Every structure is written in structure tokens, then in C-alpha cells.
A and B are shown apart, each in its own frame.
Chain A
Amino acid sequence: MSKIYINGISSVSPQSEDIYENEIPQTYNENILPAINIDYKSLIKPMMLRRMSKAVKMGLYCSKKALQEAGIADPGAILVGTGQGCMQDTEKFMSNMLESEEGLLSPTSFIQSTHNTVAGQIALDLKCKGHNMTFTQNSASFETALLDTVLLFEDEQVQNILVGGVDETSEEFTGFQKLDGQIKEASINNLDLFASGTSGTIISESAAFFTLSSEKNDSTYAEFKDVQIINKVEKSDLISKIEEFLSRNKLRLADIDAVILGRNGDSRFDHYYEDLQQGLFAEKCQVGFKHLVGDNNSVSSYAFWLASKILKEKRISQIFKLNAVNCNAPRNILIYNQYLGRNHGLILLQSH
């Protein structure tokens, strides 16, 4: 299999994309965080934009930016990970059904309510007729898209792949996650997330897309080495799973410079991360991101964006750091994420 280089990246989240450079966070005092508004019209035609829900706008915008940066017009494949798909249009047509007492329905929101709308709209815009897949695997949705990426690159015909993760919130449906305790009861400031000490987390909408290529170029950020999904694991076995993952990549723990952890302030499940922070990764530079961008089913794509930035800039932005360990010019970064104690994802990136 050829090497896989990250040649273009882009993200839309509750934080501005230049947060890594300016370190000025957007703060929220609510538990459902919207993605910031950006000038979608700069890249998407208004006649196309008018029908798009937030997920489609974010996904298409990021895709175009990531491809532009890599200098690619038409990728060989489009792979999207989304846990909840196009919730806004689903909510819209279901509300219409109720209002019209199951009478006449507007077709647009129904057509666009499926999970694969984002990947489909990207393909239509790019006129890309290649492999087009959407993966919905709860909080490991993006990791699953990465898994397909690895498989596709085993085929030497494929040179460039557009891969990303996207999830949106919707007015009513997202609130339902409060009913089963996924969202914190009391509103908190997002910067206080890790110290909240209560159950649940802050839910958000975000997208991050990447141009992955078999050749590196001037814009290359890093090399994507490997991904693994462990749907279920006893906490006592987690360390050995991580060591096995490193070992299959011919790395030892000492080779890892920084770890990006999906800690989300949920007192019921943060112990998965805390144990690693105080044990296996105690000497490593620890990085977090959910206090800034919240949590959703494809937010590990934001961690992938963050790791790419770190490896290109050869420094770790202070605002993301969870401990005081310094790390100059990191070479290997491990991303670990889980949600509700399930769907543990490991992603490895290396400087090129």
C-alpha cells in the first residue's frame, strides 16, 4: 500500500478556523453549540445554497477548501462519516407532516433528509462520479470512513480521496439527547467543561474534511498512518489495545509525542481518559478539543484536523493543552476518542 499524505484540510466548528493561530476562543453558555457562521457564498453558488441544511453547507464548503489547498479538482473518491446525518431536513419534513396532518408535503426536505445527502451534494458540485460512500457508525463514523480510505489506497489506481466527518444539530431533535442524559442538565460555559463534574456533555455541530493523497506536495501536513475501531472493550484491556495498535505500526509508547483525547466532561465516562492521562500517557503532551468545539458523532474529524495542524506547524497551541508537558516538533500523534464508553477510535498521524 502507498503512503497516505494529508495535503489539504478544512474545518467548520463552533470555533473560528484560525483559533490555532490567534488562540482566542469563542465562549458559549449553553449546552448545544452552533457552528459559527461563515461566508458560504464565497464558495457555493446562491442557487445551490438556498436549499442546503447546515450539514450540507459545512460539508461542501470544507470539501472545496480542502481540495483547493491540495490543488485537486476531482478526487477519485468521496467518503463521509456522519452519525446523525441531515437532521434539520428530517425535522423539517416531519414537522410538515404534523402540521399538514399527513397531507401535502414539500418534497425538498424529504429528498435531502437522508444521511448520504452531504456526500451526494459534494459529488454533484464537483461532478465527481467516483466511489461515494457515507458511513454511519455512531461516534466512530469518521473512523469508519478512514478505514475505507485505507482500503481504497490499497488499490494503486486511487491517488486522491476526499474524506471528512460532519454532523449538524437541529432545533428539536438535538434536544432529545437531553432525555437520555447525553447533554448536561445545567448550562455551563464551554471552557469549564473538563471541571464540570456532572454527567452528560455539550453537543455541537461541526465538519472537517481532508484531501488525502498518495503523493506529497508543498502543502502536505502529515502522513496518515493508521486507524482502528474497537466497538467494545473492558477498561482493563484498553492499554493493551493501544499498545497493540502502536506495535502494528512498529512504534513503541516512547515514540508518541502527543495524544489528542476526546475527553468531553461526562463524569460517567471521562475515567477512560483520566486513567490514561495519569498512567500510560502521564509523560506525554496531552491535548483536548471538546471544551472548544463540543462533542458529536463525527467530531474526531476535528481531532484529525488538529493533529494535522500540530504536525505542520511543529508546535502545540496552548489553548488545546491539557497538561504542562512540553513537546517540541512532535513527530507522532495518537488520537483516542470514545463516546458513552463505546466505539473507541484510535488514529495515528506522523510528520512527513
Chain B
Amino acid sequence: MSDLHTELKKSIIEQLNLEDMEVSEIENDEHLFGDGLGLDSIDALELIVLLEKDYGIKLTDPNQGKEIFNSINTMADFIEKNRTR
């Protein structure tokens, strides 16, 4: 697991108040929404803010979200390619 994957999991746990969850409990390919981690639309807003705040990425097309926030792997890929900080 790369540092970015671990960093992302830590940020998600902290930002979304997943108090009882450990980094090791989130699989890299697990769905973040729906059946997987069970995040919802308010969490999606938090993740958009997280991308901009921590990595300088501004999502201009909301339709991209579904693909980017599919799992930790997809988020990490997107961040690697688009980060400005």
C-alpha cells in the first residue's frame, strides 16, 4: 500500500468522523459508497472539499465524481495524475 493510499484512508476517517474505523479495515478496492463503506451524498461533498483542500484539485464536472470516488484505488490514481500540491 502506497503512502498516498494510507494518507487518504486516514483523511477519510478523520474528515467523515468514521470514529470506530481503522485504516486497515478499508480495502483499496472496496466501494466507498453503497454496499461498501456505506458513504452518502453528504460524504461526497466532504470528499470534494478534501480533494481541493489537500491536493489542489477542483472538480469541475460533477459526473466525474462517481468514477473518482469509486474506491481508494480510483481516488489515489486520480490524485496522482491531477494534484497541484
Interface residues of A (CB under 8 A from B): 46-47, 50-51, 100, 103-108, 111
The interface residues of chain A lying within 8 Å CB-to-CB of B16 are 50
State whether A105 touches B49 (Cβ < 8 A).
yes
Known contacts being A46-B20, A106-B15, is A51 close to B42, with CB within 8 Å? yes
Instruction: Tell which of A100, A103, A108 touches B42, judged by Cβ atoms closer than 8 Å.
Output: A108
User: In the assembly, what is the distance between CA of A221 and CA of B9, in Å?
Assistant: 50
Given contacts A51-B42, A104-B52, 5 further A-B contacts (CB under 8 A): A46-B20, A47-B38, A104-B49, A107-B42, A107-B45
Asked whether B20 lies within 8 Å of A106 as measured between CB atoms, the reply is no
Interface bracket on B: 10 to 19
A-B pairs with lowest CB-CB distance, top 9: A50-B17, A107-B45, A104-B53, A104-B49, A104-B52, A47-B38, A108-B42, A106-B49, A50-B19
Chain A contact surface mostly: loop
Q: How far is the CA of A204 from the CA of B38 in the complex (A)?
A: 35
B33 to chain A, nearest CB (A): 12
- Whether B42 pairs with A111 at a CB distance below 8 angstroms is yes
What's the least CB distance linking B48 to chain A, in Å?
9
Q: Establish whether residues A107 and B20, one from each chain, have CB atoms under 8 Å apart when the complex forms.
A: no
> Given that A47-B38, A51-B42 are known contacts, is A107 also in contact with B49, CB under 8 Å in the complex?
yes
Measured CB to CB, the closest approach of chain A to B46, in angstroms, equals: 6
Q: Counting CB contacts under 8 A, is B18 at the interface?
A: yes
Chain A residues within an 8 Å CB radius of B38: 47
In the complex the two chains form, what is the Cα distance from A111 to B42 in whole Å? 9
Residues of B within 8 A of A (CB): 15-20, 38, 42, 45-46, 49, 52-53
CB distance from B35 to the nearest CB of A (A): 13
Q: Which of B18, B49, B52 contacts A50 (CB 8 A)?
A: B18
CA distance A105 to B46 in the complex (A): 9
Kindly provide the distance from the CB of B76 to the nearest chain A CB, expressed in whole angstroms.
Answer: 21
Chain B residues positioned under 8 Å from A103 (CB to CB): 53
- What separation, in Å, do the CA atoms of A108 and B49 have in the docked complex? 11
B20: which A residues are within 8 A, CB to CB?
Answer: 46
Closest to B43 in A: A108
- Assembly CA distance A106 to B17 (angstroms): 12
A252 to chain B, nearest CB (A): 55
Nearest chain A residue, comparing its CB with the CB of B45: A107
A-B contact pairs, 21 of them (CB 8 A): A46-B19, A46-B20, A47-B38, A50-B16, A50-B17, A50-B19, A51-B17, A51-B42, A100-B53, A104-B49, A104-B52, A105-B49, A106-B15, A106-B46, A106-B49, A107-B42, A107-B46, A107-B49, A108-B42, A108-B45, A111-B42
Q: In the complex, what residues of B have CB within 8 A of residue A105's CB?
A: 49
Complex: A107 Cα to B45 Cα, angstroms: 7
Closest to B16 in A: A50
Give the distance in Å from the alpha carbon of A100 to the alpha carbon of B50 in the complex. 13
Question: What residue of chain A has the Cβ atom nearest to residue B53's Cβ?
Answer: A104
B19 — nearest CB in chain A belongs to which residue? A50
**A residues near B46, Cβ cutoff 8 Å:** 106-108
Question: How far is B14's CA from A50's CA once the two chains are assembled, in angstroms?
Answer: 11
With most chain B CB atoms within 10 A of its CB, the pick from A100, A108, A111 is A108
A100 partner residues in chain B, CB cutoff 8 A? 53
The chain A residue with its CB closest to the CB of B40 is A47
Q: Which residue of B lies closest to A45 (CB)?
A: B38
- B-side contacts of A111, CB under 8 Å: 42
Q: Which residues of A contact B17 (CB under 8 A)?
A: 50-51
**A202 shortest CB reach to chain B, Å:** 30
